[in-house]
Amino acid sequence: MNYIIYKNENALYYECGYSCDNAVFLTLGSESFFITDGRYEIEAKEAVDGAKVCIASNLLEELVGILKKHKVKKVAIDPKEWNLNAYFFLKENIPAKFKFKPDFSHKKRIIKSAKEIKYLKKAVKIGKSAFKEVAHKISEIDGLNEQRLNFLAESILRDFGKRDISFEPILAIGENAAKPHALPTGRELKKGDLLLFDAGVKYKRYCSDRTRTAFYNGELNFKIKQKFGTKKMQKVYDTVLKAHDRAIKKARSGMKASEIDKLARDVIEKAGFGKYFVHSTGHGVGLDIHEMPYISGRSDTVIKDGMVFTIEPGIYLEGEFGVRIEDMVVMKEGRAVVL
């Protein structure tokens, strides 16, 4: 199949082991081309695997020239990657028929190889250690607000530039934790507060993603078992944990993603908090922090061995607090194994 990947760095990297912020990857049958500009010539020629490196000041003009030379009649593109200007430039300059294949790269990457699973497991292990260090540092310092907590957490996650983070961490206190993607405020952490921490790191470009909700009593830990200061907090936490555990325990290869979502959602609905579970149960993780499969009530994707995704149910009570517990799993021999 002939196809073009346009500037999507993770998709580029998956194809040839290298990416930069200005590149096009073209495959024509058994022949592939990596087109970039002179700023990346040395690195590209050293790192690109399985494709001819082409250096050009105008990537699209070079792409058109290659397509014309090979008299290409049909080529697939992901319409989510392309801007209108670039797409219409191709349409106007070559007579080929363009076939839209949305999420083309994500679909190729949905089943992870043994090497990818190894990298993801390593990322998760590093992330878990970082969570422990964040808890330790927070326990040592009084009076930190969310803004300083987020800065501290990101510093530990990055570990003096040794690694990239999967996304900007979320570290939210009390009522701010009722926002699934809370932004940091000046709210200070005090004894008796609930603290939600969602973060991840990368290992060889592969992401980890983990969330813990904890009770701060002057000290902090992100262990899965937590005791909170109020009965309501404890009930909500225990409900989310039960949903998390049930989805992992009962998930099977061959199920639809919507069935796994239902495993978690049924627990929360039965406890009376259904309307406060406002997002899907999980999402795939790989080179991108969000990729296929999506574990939602709308997804008909059939889950298979080798897929890696999160299980992250949550309950969010506006003006009070929110709870989310998240782990990454890989489907192995028909069952979900926590990474």
- Tell me the per-residue pLDDT of 91-129, one tens digit each, with 9 for 90 and over: 999 989 999 999 999 999 999 999 999 999 999 999 999
Residue 140, number of CB atoms within 10 A of its CB: 10
Confidence of residue 161 (pLDDT cuts 50, 70, 90): confident
The Cα 76–Cα 98 span in angstroms is 6
Average pLDDT over all residues of the chain: 97
What DSSP assignment string belongs to 192-227?
A: TEEEEEEE-BEETTEE--EEEEEEESSS----S---
pLDDT tier at 152, thresholds 50, 70, 90: very high
- Amino acid letter, residue 230: T
Written as one string, the DSSP assignment of 146-187 is HHHHHHHHHHHHHTTTTS-BSS--EEEEGGGGGSTTPPP-SP
Mean per-residue pLDDT, 222-246: 97
pLDDT single digits (tens) 162-189: 999 999 999 999 999 999 999 999 999 9
What pLDDT is stored for residue 213 in this prediction? Answer: 98
pLDDT tens profile 248-298: 999 999 999 999 999 999 999 999 999 999 999 999 999 999 999 999 999
Q: What is the pLDDT of residues 8-47, one digit of tens each?
A: 999 999 999 999 999 999 999 999 999 999 999 999 999 9
**In this prediction, what percent of the chain has a pLDDT beyond 90?**
98
Our measurement of the distance from residue 25's CA atom to the centroid of its chain's CA atoms, rounded to an integer in Å, reads 23
pLDDT of residue 160: 80
Which of these, 311, 231, 315, lies nearest to 271 by C-alpha position? Answer: 315
pLDDT band at 142 (very low <50, low <70, confident <90, very high): confident
In order, the DSSP letters of 269-303 are HHTT-GGG--S-SEEE-SSSSSEEEEESTT--PBP
- Map out the domains of the chain with their CATH numbers: 3-108 (3.40.350.10), 114-338 (3.90.230.10)
What confidence score (pLDDT) does residue 125 get? 97
Amino acid 1: pLDDT: 86
pLDDT (0 to 100) of residue 95? 87
Answer yes or no: are the C-beta atoms of 146 and 174 closer than 8 Å: no
Q: Nearest to residue 136, comparing CAs of 208, 214, 56, 201?
A: 214
Residue 324's pLDDT is 98
Arithmetic mean of pLDDT, 148-157: 96
pLDDT score of 146 more than 90: yes
